[in-house]
């Protein structure tokens, strides 16, 4: 679809944390360290899943895709945040803003789908162990992951395509460190109930539907397990996934369930930091610390590189 810019405004200002002048260098160092740890942790998991044959299973195939997604997700917002803190480069063109909005929204949608797929994978592994290898073979895994990426980008293209048609002709300050959908809708001088309705419905579908699917999957896991020993063993393999889901969806639910009028700009920014910066850093830590296979693969790779094994 060709770019149709009917706006008088050509640039936005990302306010970010510009009001914290006295600690901007400290924030820059903090977010830079978080970004490096996030990239290193997620790329390490991707490398381990590719290199170690013992991790060539559906669960780790999905984990590798999630880690790669987290790398893309955090890279879509943090570099510009760092630039704003270090050199106070907070100007972004309308075109770049819409592009950033597209990728951030797409990666968020894909993460919802991948988390749902991982829940279904655990359901099959625990409730249908005999047919698990047949139902979750490599071909099925590739198709499911591909469908998650394609659906995420397609759904986002529909929503962002509607946002691109809005006009921005007065205020141009975005009170966040990235191009936020809610902020853009507030800044638009052409209030469109159709656009807002499409955005609301689309965002609700791509977040709530996977979440309900995750809940149903774990309810079925609980109902299918008889003894407490089996239940404890089953949940030991699901604990990491449940913790990641809780962090990700907990932040989203708080952000969109609590009325916007009751959220201060600072509170909104903190929540935005949680799901765009903090959660991608914690995911590889959660999976590596609670997973013997990942830790074993890491030790094996280290020993091999040292020439010990």
Q: What CATH code is carried by the domain that includes residue 110?
A: 1.20.1070.10
User: What are the pLDDT digits (tens) for 193-236?
Assistant: 777 788 888 888 888 899 999 999 988 888 877 665 666 666 66
Tally Cβ neighbours within 10 Å of residue 168: 21
pLDDT tens digits, one per residue of 59-110: 889 999 999 999 999 999 999 999 888 887 788 998 999 999 999 999 999 9
Class of residue 219 by CB neighbours under 10 A (exposed 0-12, middle 13-18, buried 19+):
exposed
Q: Which domain holds residue 110?
A: 11-306
> Is residue 113 situated within a structural domain?
yes
User: Does residue 172 belong to any structural domain of this protein?
Assistant: yes
Residue 41 and residue 281 in contact, taking contact as beta carbons nearer than 8 Å:
yes
Tokens for 179, please give them: 């191009």
Q: Which residues pair with 174 in a beta bridge?
A: 14
Q: Is residue 153 part of a domain?
A: yes
Give pTM, 2 decimals.
0.88
Number of independent structural domains in the chain:
1
Looking at the predicted structure, is the pLDDT value of residue 20 above 80? no
Question: In this structure, what token pair is assigned to residue 204?
Answer: 């609700």
Place of tokens 């936005």: 12
Q: Is residue 75 a contact partner of residue 276, using CB atoms and an 8 Å limit? A: no
3 part of a folded domain: no
Query: Looking at the domain assignment, is residue 4 inside a domain?
Result: no
């Amino acid at each position: 679809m060709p770019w149709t810019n009917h706006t008088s405004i050509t640039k936005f200002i990302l306010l970010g944390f510009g009001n914290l002048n006295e600690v901007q260098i400290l924030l820059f160092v903090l977010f830079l360290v978080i970004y490096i740890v996030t990239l290193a942790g997620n790329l390490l998991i991707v490398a381990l899943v590719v290199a170690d044959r013992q991790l060539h299973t559906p669960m780790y195939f999905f984990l590798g895709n999630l880690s790669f997604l987290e790398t893309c997700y955090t890279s879509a917002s943090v570099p510009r945040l760092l630039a704003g803190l270090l050199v106070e480069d907070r100007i972004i063109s309308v075109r770049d803003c819409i592009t950033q909005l597209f990728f951030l929204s797409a990666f968020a949608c894909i993460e919802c789908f991948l988390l749902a797929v991982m829940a279904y994978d655990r359901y099959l592994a625990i409730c249908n162990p005999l047919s698990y290898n047949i139902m979750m073979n490599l071909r099925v895994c590739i198709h499911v992951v591909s469908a998650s990426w394609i659906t995420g980008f397609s759904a986002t293209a529909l929503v962002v395509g509607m946002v691109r048609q809005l006009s921005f002709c007065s205020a141009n300050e975005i009170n966040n460190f990235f191009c936020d959908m809610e902020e853009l809708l507030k800044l638009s001088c052409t209030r469109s109930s159709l656009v807002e309705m499409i955005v609301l419905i689309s965002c609700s579908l791509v977040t709530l539907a996977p979440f309900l699917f995750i809940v149903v999957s774990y309810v079925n896991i609980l109902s299918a397990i008889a003894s407490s020993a089996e239940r404890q063993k089953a949940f030991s393999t699901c604990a990491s996934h449940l913790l990641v889901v809780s962090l990700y969806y907990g932040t989203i639910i708080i952000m969109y369930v609590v009325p916007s009028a009751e959220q201060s700009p600072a509170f909104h920014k903190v929540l935005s930091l949680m799901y765009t910066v903090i959660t991608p850093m914690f995911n590889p830590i959660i999976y590596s610390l609670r997973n013997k296979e990942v830790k074993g693969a890491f030790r094996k790779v280290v020993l091999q590189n040292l020439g010990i094994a």
